[in-house]
Amino acid sequence: MIRSAILDDLPEIRAMIRELAAYERAEEQARATEEQLREALFGEHPAAFALIAEDDGTGEVMGYALWFPRFSTWTGTRGMHLEDLYVRPQARGSGHGKALLATLAATCRRNGYDRFEWWVLAWNTPAIDFYTSLGVELLDEWKVCRLSGEPLRELAARAPRVVDPAGDG
């Protein structure tokens, strides 16, 4: 069963985020607190949305998908960015990942989103094989850019003053 996440899912979501980070060899980078996730997923202005995959027989949480809307200046339309897709090892191959992706694809269609995009680590052959079996196009010509930590602070310190033409600040 695939369903929208609820507030009571936060401990499981946080645990699966850490499991995913460990699988991706970056556990120390998974620092989101339950409170941050509560605000991001269930606050007044959600930054992201989550789906939960449950085992039909036991109701046990088997995986999750976390996504947020994005916008393309080229198409002039919204799209979806999948931040996380995770299925617990014992449930892999049982259809949970495909069901999560199909539900997200249906959300895209329902909302008029033209694009559904995400990243996959270059070494994650099982995931790449799974995605390509679904018809996913791998965009090898693009590189992910990330600015964080001290370089982010240094660049931000060089920002000019922004003038609000409406005079609101």
Catalytic residue among 64, 86, 113, 131: 131
Which among 95, 94, 99, 126 has a CA at the least distance from the CA of 24?
A: 126
Active site residue 113: no
Beta strands in 13-57 (DSSP E): 49-54
Distances (CA, A) of 64 to 97, 103, 116, 126: 8, 11, 17, 18
Q: Which residues, 6 or more positions from 133, have their beta carbon under 8 angstroms from its beta carbon?
A: none
Distances (CA, A) of 49 to 1, 41, 56, 94, 107: 17, 6, 22, 23, 11
Phi, then psi, of 85 in degrees rounded to 5? -130, 120
Q: Which residues, 6 or more positions from 166, have their beta carbon under 8 angstroms from its beta carbon?
A: none
Active site residues: 131
